[in-house]
Structure 1
Amino acid sequence: MDLQLTDRVAVVTGASKGIGLAITRTLLEEGAKVVAASRKVTPELAELARDGDALEHVSVDLTDPDAPAAVVARAIDRFACLDILVNNAGGPPPGATLPRFSFFDADDADWRAMFEFNLFSAVRACRAAIPAMLERGGGSIVNISTGHARQASAINVDYGAAKAAMNNFGKALAEEFGPQGIRVNTVSPGPVLTPWWTDQGGAADVLAAKLGTTREELLEGGAAQLMNLATGRLATPDEIATVVALLASPRSASTTGADFAVDSGWLKAV
């Protein structure tokens, strides 16, 4: 299927690894031009840049209030327009380690940092991107949230709260700007096999220490069993990226204000 993304201009935040890297790669493969925002360039992102001039990297800390607008401005300077915004940056703020297992594990500073990274960076990016999209006659915004936004948990309370706010924010934008041609949708992954899980000191190590098991046992099926995932495994970043690309595509012209769970069957509620 041709997703009709050739020469569309996209901004992807948190693009250096994991889901953001997969989204960047998928959009490039579909013919889009991508401005990838992250604090640093990973070898994998650098490899994508070698394949042509369709990828521009911007080194920014998205907790800086001025950073999202600077990324959008770079996209317009480089490619003259903006069609797609993927607010993927999120998860643990710089310097934080997740998971946290109790409400009392996060103080006010932790909550502020979590909302800055997971909500306010997206708010600021949308504030910068929407005027440029209106000039184009429309566009697509895809916000990457989490199943925790709908399934409350004592684990990572601050993260779930920030992403729940993002879900509401996305629906509000869809309502306001849908008549002007801008679609806004949300993708809510469950556990995904990313560096957030697999890095040394990451979620697999933290959970293994808490549960008295090993990181290998968790990654090879223990985490899926613990979370009662219907597929029996964690999702892959490419599986999230495929849904994002479809939502970014003009083929999804009547899809807006929706939240897509790509979570290995984690959420059970109707």
Structure 2
Amino acid sequence: MDMRLAGRVAVVTGASKGIGLAVTRTLLDEGAKVVAVSRKAGAELDALAGPNLVHVAADLMDPDAPALAVERAVEVFGGLDVLVNNAGGPPPGATLPRFGFQTPSDDDWRDMFEFNVFGVVRAVRAAIPHLLKSDAAAIVNVSSVNGRRPGPMNSDYNAAKAALNNVAKGLSEEFAPQGIRVNTVSPGPVRTPWWTDEGGAADIIAGATGSDRDAVLDGGAAQMMALTTGRLADPQEVADVVALLASPRSGSTTGAEFVVDSGFLKEI
């Protein structure tokens, strides 16, 4: 199926690994021009190098970074059609999961919202004037199922993603009449470096449960979270949904949330 993304210009944040890398690769495969935003490029992103890819080294904790990335897209490719706000999760220097409400400090809460909410707000604010000039503008925010299911872990992260969902819904109401669609993709647990890196979620959960990281990754986490599929999702499975929502083929879809969660959410 032709996604009608050829020649479209996209900015993707958190693009050097995991879901963001998969989104970047998918958009390039569909013929889009991509400005990939991350603190460092990394070997896998470097392997995608070509005329349709520009890397912007930026830390989205810096209030000026989102606007600089958007302006770079306009400077190099002449405009902007798609903004994928994928960067999120633990702020730089933090690790998740955090167990218990008392664990995160005020600074932890501030950093979590700075990275997962304010970084998105600033990117959207910078992108809107350019997206209004596009004939098929789309914003896709990557949130989390944890924004819909509060729990005794990661209360700061869960609240930040709930806020992000609310912002996206409001944006869709305001800007759909002006031609900008805004949608949300909410992954469940995805087999990304957040899980697999040394000291990441798999190691933390293994230490808390007396297990080992391979057991956590190969089924323990899925069992603990009652994932219907029995496994963590693959980043490409999330990227495919992001690409469809970015595509003009989703022209009547806005204000929606699409869940890619291996069956984590059970609610109707």
TM-score normalised over the length of structure 1: 0.98
Find the counterpart in structure 1 of residue 117 from structure 2: 119
Residue of 62, 68, 77 corresponding to 2:60: 62
Find the counterpart in structure 2 of residue 14 from structure 1: 14
Secondary structure of 1:155's counterpart equals: coil
- CA 1:144–1:203 in structure 2 vs 1: closer, same or farther (change >3 Å)? same
Which runs of structure 2 are paired with 1:28-39 in the superposition (5 Å)? 28-39=28-39
Find the counterpart in structure 2 of residue 191 from structure 1: 189
Report the AA paired with residue 251 of structure 1: R
Residue of 256, 259, 266 corresponding to 2:257: 259
Report the AA paired with residue 15 of structure 2: A
Return the offset for 1:154.
1.1
Secondary structure of 2:140's counterpart equals: strand
For residues 152 and 48 of structure 2, the distance between their equivalents in structure 1, rounded to whole angstroms, comes to: 38
Write out per-residue CA displacement over residues 226-247 of structure 1, whole angstroms, 9 at most, x where no aligned residue. Answer: 1000111000000000000000
Confirm or deny: 8 A CA contact 2:136 2:248 kept in the other structure: no
For residues 105 and 27 of structure 1, the distance between their equivalents in structure 2, rounded to whole angstroms, comes to: 39
Find the counterpart in structure 1 of residue 245 from structure 2: 247
Residue of 136, 141, 144 corresponding to 1:143: 141
Return the offset for 1:138.
4.5
Return the offset for 1:137.
4.0
Confirm or deny: 8 A CA contact 1:11 1:34 kept in the other structure: yes
Secondary structure of 1:48's counterpart equals: coil
TM-score normalised over the length of structure 2: 0.99
Find the counterpart in structure 1 of residue 44 from structure 2: 44
Secondary structure of 1:257's counterpart equals: coil
Find the counterpart in structure 2 of residue 92 from structure 1: 90
Write out per-residue CA displacement over residues 92-122 of structure 1, whole angstroms, 9 at most, x where no aligned residue. Answer: 1011011001111101100000000001000
Structure 1: tracts of 5 or more residues without a match: none
1:204 equivalent in alignment to 2:213 = no
For residues 177 and 204 of structure 1, the distance between their equivalents in structure 2, rounded to whole angstroms, comes to: 40
For residues 134 and 9 of structure 2, the distance between their equivalents in structure 1, rounded to whole angstroms, comes to: 11
Return the offset for 1:188.
0.3
For residues 55 and 103 of structure 1, the distance between their equivalents in structure 2, rounded to whole angstroms, comes to: 41
Confirm or deny: 8 A CA contact 1:137 1:180 kept in the other structure: no
Structure 2: tracts of 5 or more residues without a match: none
Moved over 4 A (4+): none
Report the AA paired with residue 119 of structure 2: S
Q: Percent of aligned positions with the same letter in both sequences? A: 66
Report the AA paired with residue 27 of structure 1: L
Q: Please give the root-mean-square deviation of Cα atoms over the aligned residues, in Å.
A: 0.6
Secondary structure of 1:70's counterpart equals: helix
Report the AA paired with residue 121 of structure 1: G
For residues 154 and 165 of structure 2, the distance between their equivalents in structure 1, rounded to whole angstroms, comes to: 17
Secondary structure of 1:141's counterpart equals: strand
Confirm or deny: 8 A CA contact 2:229 2:262 kept in the other structure: yes
For residues 261 and 136 of structure 1, the distance between their equivalents in structure 2, rounded to whole angstroms, comes to: 27
Number of matched pairs: 268
